[in-house]
Amino acid sequence: MSSQEASCSEPSQQPCEMPNTLPGGLHPSNRNTIDWNSKGTIVYGSHNLLFVVDAFTCKRVQTIDHHSTAIDHVCWSPPFSITEQARSEDHRIASSDISGQIIISEPIFGSKRCQFSHAASKVLNMKWLVWKDESRDFLLSLHSGDCLILWGTDFGEKIWSMNYTTPLFDLAIDPFNACNASFSSTGCNVMMCSDINLSNAPSNSCRSVTICEDQVHCFHTELSAVLFSSSVEPNLISWLCCSSRDAVFSVQASGAVTLRVGTFSANDERADAQLGLEKVDQLVTYHLMHPVAIGDIQRHGTQQRAVGAALCPVTQSSIAVLFSTGRVVFWQLTSEEFAVLDYRHIQQTGFLDALSSGVSCLRMRPMDDLGKDTDDSLDLSSFGSAHLVAIGSHSGILHLVDVFTCDIIREFSVQSSPIKCLEWGGTYTVLTAGYNHSLSTAQVVRNDIFATDIRTGLKRRIRPEADESPVTLLRVSFYQCYLALAFQREPLEIWDLKGLRLLRRMSKTCPLIVDMAWSCKHHGIKTTEDGGLSIYRENLVVLDSDNRLYHVVVKGLHVKDGKEVNTQYFEKDGHSQMSTLGAVLVCDILVC
């Protein structure tokens, strides 16, 4: 019938030193995998990782890596009652993946408490079952195959299971009475179950309610009556109900957040018999919910869409919206009085950034020249001596990440083409190169080569646009004075990096370059007699497709012809890269 596998492990004594992972774009199964607990902590899934976020500081404080496949559901354990204050710090996270595995994690230490699953089934939804305000150790999960299972989360044991004859797709538990649960079924039907308990499995008989499609209904479970209905906005991805007020937040795929409240009015007319209300002097009737506050729609890219949202369970006025790019945006409902219009307003209070999809290359920031540059208040206030790594993506976005805190410091939209080459041209300059693939049969593209100042975001195009061969390599010299560009079917170019001018383009008889590197040993600086001008002399080592080495000497504004170097490291055996032996080769070459 069914089988389970459980494994338990005690939490470690030392907290796991995380986060050391930066999230990127989400997996399609990560839709709605976000939850907010009463301690001001948010958890969301990105591929097979769980990220714990402090909502007050908008920073990731923990990364949990226990799943092997993409996560599709996640939920915090509910807060403990007054009688269980001894366990008030025993927080747990229940998460499931697309393979059907359910894992109970401990967020502070990042450890796994237990793992269990139901054989050959997928988790459709799961909720923590609070039983008589005494325990938060039970998890109710709905699995594919119309199977409802109650688990004990201490050791992963199965308490009971129930197989329904009606197809079920989703699960919701009554927040005021844990005995009641509702399931979505086929044909816009909602199945009502009212006999859930810890000791026995519920019966197979459920009350069925049919609702209209493309509408939101307020349904009274005890009276079995629809109080009111409201039309659904297009592209609605989340509907967040407030438990302490007659209000609901709706979140659309564009990221827009809308607050709607229910209004009441006294009516002297007789109540409709379908509601099941007794005759009284003053009857109260519901009216359709109308929007009272709408958040501003942010400008997002075409690939960025909201996929989930979570409501703060304490204030019920803060919302975290999760986007497909991995970004989390925080919204806050305010009630300030404005000079023009007096109305409530939903405004953005913070965001948590993520890497763009498709990271292509990365380079560490050089720290050698940090103290040589003149001290500038702009430099010290923005970056100081931070250890940064520049990360390029296929979307043309450049990220600057602090390697010690794993925080994304800056994000620049450098070019419209993918970033294929990336180098630091100094302490505050990043060089990027890339191109879009041609849609025609012609093997020519338009290369994008930019120099970006990370302090101001100002970018300068190094080479003019032209139909040419794709750029393949970009190398900056040791003193960061010269730039070498290699192309797929065109000769090598040497540029003056400080003046952004072309020093020399090699002849067309120059062989095709496979790899190249500037020497970190054979270089020098000479100063003119008046002491006002420095002349740099640097050496570039080039490897061609026939495994032959050349060195090119650049001195001042003059570039000498490349000379072939006899070496024992490379033979004609098919090797075409100098990445592993490049440092040894460059250091052992003598330049005459």
Percent of the chain with pLDDT over 70: 76
395: amino acid identity, one letter:
S
Domain boundary at 320, 339, 354, which? 354
Query: Could you give the CA distance from residue 590 to residue 192 in angstroms, rounded to a whole number?
Result: 83
Same domain? For 365 and 296 the reply is: no
Tally of structural domains, the chain: 3
**Long-range contacts from 16-21, C-beta under 8 angstroms, 24+ separation:** 16/62, 16/109, 16/110, 16/111, 18/61, 18/62, 18/63, 18/64, 18/110, 19/51, 19/60, 19/61, 19/62, 19/63, 19/406, 20/63, 20/406, 21/49, 21/51, 21/63, 21/65, 21/406
Same domain? For 279 and 372 the reply is: no
Domain boundary at 354, 373, 398, which? 354
Q: Which of 337 and 479 is assigned the larger pLDDT?
A: 479
If you average pLDDT over residues 14-30, what whole number do you get? 75
Q: Which of 196 and 581 is assigned the larger pLDDT?
A: 196
CB-based burial of residue 508 (10 Å sphere; 0-12 exposed, 13-18 middle, 19+ buried)? exposed
| Cα–Cα separations (whole angstroms), residue 124 to 42, 51, 177, 566 | 21, 21, 22, 66
Same domain? For 198 and 256 the reply is: no
If you average pLDDT over residues 462-479, what whole number do you get? 90
pLDDT at 483: 93
Q: Is residue 418 part of a domain?
A: yes
pLDDT at 291: 52
Same domain? For 420 and 452 the reply is: yes
pLDDT in tens, 423-467: 999 888 999 999 988 777 778 899 999 999 998 889 999 988 888
Q: Is residue 419 part of a domain?
A: yes
User: What strands lie across the sheet with 170-173, from one edge to the other?
Assistant: 170-173, 181-184, 189-193, 207-210
Q: Is residue 218 part of a domain?
A: no
Give this prediction's pTM. Answer: 0.79
pLDDT at 22: 86
Q: Which of 218 and 343 is assigned the larger pLDDT?
A: 218
CATH number of the domain that residue 377 is part of:
2.40.128.630
Query: Could you give the CA distance from residue 465 to residue 447 in angstroms, rounded to a whole number?
Result: 7
Q: Is the pLDDT of residue 287 over 50?
A: no
The tokens for 156 are 């992963």
pLDDT at 590: 35
Same domain? For 84 and 18 the reply is: yes
Same domain? For 189 and 241 the reply is: no
pLDDT at 302: 59
User: Which residue range forms the structural domain that includes residue 282?
Assistant: 234-354
If you average pLDDT over residues 63-68, what whole number do you get? 94
Residue 47 per-residue DSSP state:
T
Alpha-carbon 297 to chain mean position = 20
Same domain? For 258 and 372 the reply is: no
Q: Is the pLDDT of residue 14 over 80?
A: no
**Long-range contacts from 461-464, C-beta under 8 angstroms, 24+ separation:** 462/431, 462/495, 462/500
Percent of the chain with pLDDT over 90: 34
Q: Is residue 222 part of a domain?
A: no
pLDDT at 118: 94
The DSSP code sequence of 461-510 is ESS---EEPPEEEEEE-TTS-EEEEEESSS--EEEETTTTEEEEE--TTS
| Cα–Cα separations (whole angstroms), residue 423 to 47, 426, 476, 501 | 29, 9, 7, 18
Q: Is residue 13 part of a domain?
A: yes
Express the helix, strand and coil content of the chain in percent, nearest 5 each: 5, 45, 50
